Structure 1
């Protein structure tokens, strides 16, 4: 049996283990990321779908035997037989993924194989391919569903921004592959595009910071309502970030001031039955499935006149809330 045949035989035998390991990492990573960005949605935070990517057998054989890698033990030394790629919006978001990798250290040993920030610090005058690469190896043998995962199984995890990913998709199979001889013009054009990407990320980050400053107040209100709703009503299928929730919060948030959280607590101690009304109606009415419904009740009680104007709720929806509070929508 030739070296290639032995390599391929072993790969066909172990490929299901690598697939199971990739799925396990995906599951744990998305859970860890979700806990760090809550109440934001992890599917929105990750700009492209994440799924374990298995190298094709031909690609593995070419890398092992025909790309002048000078491997001593190619099967063991090739650590990207299975891989995952996490794509985020901004460079600052990369840290969230890295923190999740570090936090998952109870499941895997990790090694940073590539860090574009280190490369940029070492050669600040150059602009090239940027991505963060980790290799995660199973920390101990364990059984995941129906598969026994052995200790030391590697998986490559790439982390990059959406702009970095676009650059990679355009150039990595050409300029950075040994089979292609890149011309000086190609390299120069690629370097200019990466310089623009870095500058664009800086501008995007500044725009994001300015937006965050503006919406900080609304975000604090939404976080308070989300916490109260989950605690007092239900945590099933509830999301802080929905168009309806934001629409209601933006409108009624203008009526409240600092100290809202403590006042809200006092309000519902006096009127605990409101939570029962919300529970009764949440199955049949979308309005009662968003945390901002709590704010509507509070504002109707505290500002009955102002609460009925410039509202995203229709009269029938408002009338029911006014009635729950012993008020009339026609109040002046």
Structure 2
């Protein structure tokens, strides 16, 4: 091109990839003739095609027929630079946005702060190339464009949760995503990608939950789907990773034995602290319920299902005499009417802003953040927290078991929140209460839990589980996925976390076998729930509770203990 007003330059930089620059000296697009514009466009296309064929072994989207390009770092680095701009970086930013939107929609109020993305990254070309040269990856290599299908952590996101129960909640949220079928253009989850290193830690002591999401990335030619690895850790385990640089303990690396031993000891200590932190969280949850219900003070015992064992912890006030003295002293001080009025106004404002059914404990927590813990003495003057709500927002519905839910003013009450579970088809009150202690327990309607158990039993019958005393976590994951797929084939909704809970419970009881019937599984789940509820003092009427649980699970009641 000879026109001095148009300059085209193509510059190759071997370290960071290919950069094609088109510089125009025109001050406005309107001064460029159609002929000049066409010349620029054609020249750029010719240069780009020539460079891709010369340096990348073909185009970004098509494999050169009849040959496999030689794997080399120089060629890989150039591919990585182009891929990063075209779809790796767009996938990273889209994944961060979509995960945050998902958490915003699933986690309410202050609990949202328990889940946060700490970092996101695109894996460096040096590290990914090193991984690609290992035998199990190299043998799958056919061309550079196929690398995203070989390496699943080109794009990664680290998500930090406060406690172990938050990890369980995150697993449930992820389990509700649809499984990628190769066509879905929305956030989905890759089949077989769940890896729970909390239950099966790595040899280094690493503990986390990994899952691969599939993220849609819009291109000029259409939408492509990119895998993004999500690593979820607790605060303490993330601290362990930072302190020990777990990433340096990869296969093939050489680390002195004493460093490995010290790192493992630290991981085991932090696991113990994680469990203590979870016990503290459970105790605080119980205390928040007691504040809402205004119970009499005193020591209570809780049995907490941690997933691998059941812990017995004491909650409440250990010195009953001191508590009684403090309460009686506070009761003699009447709160000023101005404070009472401010409390009513703030309560009305908080409830008026609700868009979804919200636990009363969460509303009370928000009020204590505004006024301080002393405000609980003020609402006791109304006769309790629920009475305060009735005064402040008389049109707001309050439903469910203790501590209950408050619903947006004027909004219809969803059937699963109706007061009478047997009328609406929701879960029994004792199941909702037990969820505080057993975070994975499905709080769903009777038909849905019965469908989940039936799907699990079908999946167990179809797999070769004979002879195994206990299922491994991998087997449980495979069976839960199979149960979900069987339910989907019948147009039924069975969430993977619910299927996993049923399988884990049956596995603990040692009754997972191909001959297991739906009735046997349902009876076992009923007795498991009843026993846990009994241990935690949640049963007031044994006969009524047995009847409710039996009706919920679709089995014949038996005489209560």
**TM-score range for the pair, normalised by the shorter chain length:** 0.5 to 0.7
Q: Secondary structure at the match of 2:110?
A: coil
Deviation track 1:23-71 (CA, whole Å, cap 9, x = no partner) reads: 22222222222333311153x3136x53431112222222223x55542
Which residue number in structure 2 is paired with residue 114 of structure 1?
195
Question: CA 1:171 to 1:68, structure 2 compared with 1: closer, same or farther past 3 Å?
Answer: farther
Distance 1:164 1:251 in 2: 38
Kept in 2: contact 1:51–1:84 (CA 8 A): yes
Distance 1:248 1:226 in 2: 20
Q: CA deviation at 1:241?
A: 7.3
Distance 1:68 1:55 in 2: 19
Alignment pair present for 1:254 and 2:322? no
Counterpart of 2:171 (choices 98, 104, 120) is 98
Which residue number in structure 2 is paired with residue 178 of structure 1?
252
Distance 1:176 1:195 in 2: 19
Alignment pair present for 1:23 and 2:151? no
Q: CA deviation at 1:22?
A: 2.0
- Where structure 1 has 5 or more consecutive residues not aligned to the other structure, the ranges are 233-238, 269-332
Kept in 2: contact 1:218–1:253 (CA 8 A): no
TM-score (norm. length: structure 2): 0.39
Q: Counterparts in 2 of 1:63-212, with a 5 A limit? A: 63-65=131-133, 67=134, 69-71=136-138, 72-73=140-141, 75=147, 76-105=149-178, 106-111=186-191, 112-119=193-200, 128-138=205-215, 143=218, 150-169=223-242, 170-183=244-257, 185-212=258-285
Kept in 1: contact 2:158–2:232 (CA 8 A): yes
Which residue number in structure 1 is paired with residue 106 of structure 2?
36
Counterpart of 1:230 (choices 345, 349, 353) is 353
- Where structure 2 has 5 or more consecutive residues not aligned to the other structure, the ranges are 1-54, 56-69, 179-185, 295-342, 356-364, 397-561
Q: Counterparts in 2 of 1:303-322, with a 5 A limit? A: none
Which residue number in structure 2 is paired with residue 263 of structure 1?
391
Q: Which has the higher helix share?
A: 1
Report the RMSD for the aligned CA atoms in angstroms.
3.7
Q: CA deviation at 1:227?
A: 5.1
Q: Secondary structure at the match of 1:181?
A: coil
Counterpart of 2:115 (choices 40, 46, 54) is 46
Which residue number in structure 2 is paired with residue 293 of structure 1?
none
Q: Secondary structure at the match of 2:247?
A: coil
Deviation track 1:256-295 (CA, whole Å, cap 9, x = no partner) reads: 3244233333499xxxxxxxxxxxxxxxxxxxxxxxxxxx
Q: Secondary structure at the match of 1:180?
A: coil
TM-score (norm. length: structure 1): 0.63
Q: CA deviation at 1:162?
A: 1.3
- Structure 1 stretch displaced more, 91-100 or 107-116: 107-116
Kept in 2: contact 1:175–1:186 (CA 8 A): no
How many residues in Structure 1 have an aligned counterpart in Structure 2?
251
Distance 1:195 1:225 in 2: 47
Question: CA 1:100 to 1:28, structure 2 compared with 1: closer, same or farther past 3 Å?
Answer: farther
Q: Secondary structure at the match of 1:262?
A: helix
Q: Counterparts in 2 of 1:288-327, with a 5 A limit? A: none
Q: CA deviation at 1:195?
A: 1.8
Question: CA 1:54 to 1:147, structure 2 compared with 1: closer, same or farther past 3 Å?
Answer: farther
